[in-house]
Chains A and B, each alone.
Chain A
Amino acid sequence: MAITPYRERPVAGLHQATDADLLVHAGRREAHAFAALVDRHFPVVHRVVWRMMNGHADAEDVAQEAFLRLWRDPSQVREGPALRGWLIRVASNIVMDRFRVRPMLDLDETGELADGRGTAEDAMDRSRAVATIDAAVAGLPERQKLAMTLVHFEQMTNIAAAAIMDVSVDALESLLARARRSLKERLAPDKSTLLATLAAERT
């Protein structure tokens, strides 16, 4: 099926159009409508995937794959408002499938995120402090990490996050509680240094 050139038939009020409207046009293979959906949702999908993959270089590829699946069949998403959740769910499933086949390497081996542990006595600069925090998040189990990413980092409601993860709100809250407890345990040894470093950075 031929793709409609981007400049040929722009949808009136493209940026004001709802996801549902854009999906209808995307279903007619109109690239400009799909490009608007990409502009709207690609950054958040990429952020979630990046967090899930601990900053792995393949994060962009996985985020792209979710959009390709949408492009191949936009009718998979029945309701426009559910689009963002659908994209995140597809992308996070791709991440989990990939690393089920090829387990994620240890963070120390990947070098994607530097592990800042053991630096309490050192003068800790901001980048190392951030790396320590990122490494603590990266070390969470997949589902806890996804729950934290959606609720804490992407500011989604528990209901929305639970819908994306296809779990009950109670189950999501349990994941969040375990994730926070785990993060506290991981970060507590460096707590005073981290807080001091980051506080100094702010002043």
Chain B
Amino acid sequence: MNRNHEPMTDRELDLLLAHATVPSLPEGARDRLMQRLAGEASSPPANTVVPFRRSAAAPSRIGWLAGLPLAASLALGIYLGSGGTLESYLPSTAYDMLAGNSDDAVTGIEDVESFNEDDLS
């Protein structure tokens, strides 16, 4: 290629580019596209979603069932505690000790130590 050519101006370049091919839509292109669209509409959409494994997406039914006894136990505990019926299910010695302790006034760390020694010995 001859490198000693005269440089091209912007105007000359624009003049040449104005003659570049202007592509026209091939005949029937629109109809072919609409046919493809109609084909897409009649066929089920491609599933592009990869689902999580069920165990990862949500707890299994067994997991929910295992939670039922826990919930029932909690509800029973609240019921028994609030209704005062708990004491009839506890051993009497344990309940007396708890009731007696509740009346002792604790005023300092020395009292706590003596309290513990007295009651546990």
Contact A71 B32, CB 8 Å, known A47-B23, A133-B16: no
Contact between chains at A72 and B5 (CB < 8 Å): no
Chain B residues with a Cβ closer than 8 Å to the other chain, count: 32
A31, A55, A183: the one contacting B21 at CB < 8 Å is A55
Complex interface: chain A residues within 8 A of B22 (CB)? 47, 153
Contact between chains at B33 and A42 (CB < 8 Å): yes
- CB of A93 to closest CB in B, whole Å: 17
A51 at the interface (CB under 8 A from B): yes
- Encode contact with A along B5-20: 1 for CB under 8 Å, 0 otherwise: 1111010110111011
Contact between chains at A46 and B29 (CB < 8 Å): yes
Complex interface: chain B residues within 8 A of A39 (CB)? 30
Complex interface: chain B residues within 8 A of A195 (CB)? 12, 15-16
Which of B40-48, B61-69, B77-85, B99-107 contacts its partner?
B40-48
A9 at the interface (CB under 8 A from B): no
Complex interface: chain A residues within 8 A of B38 (CB)? 3, 31
Contact between chains at B32 and A64 (CB < 8 Å): yes
A34 at the interface (CB under 8 A from B): yes
Complex interface: chain B residues within 8 A of A43 (CB)? 24-25
Contact between chains at A60 and B32 (CB < 8 Å): yes
A29, A117, A189: the one contacting B41 at CB < 8 Å is A29
Contact between chains at A3 and B42 (CB < 8 Å): yes
B26 at the interface (CB under 8 A from A): yes
B75 at the interface (CB under 8 A from A): no
- CB of B6 to closest CB in A, whole Å: 7
A98 at the interface (CB under 8 A from B): no
B2, B12, B32, B41: the one contacting A3 at CB < 8 Å is B41
Residue of A whose beta carbon sits closest to that of B10: A180
> CA–CA, A197 to B15, complex, Å?
12
B34 at the interface (CB under 8 A from A): yes
Complex interface: chain B residues within 8 A of A71 (CB)? 37, 40
Name B residues whose Cβ lies closer than 8 Å to a Cβ of A. Answer: 1-2, 5-8, 10, 12-13, 15-17, 19-26, 29-30, 32-34, 36-38, 40-42, 45
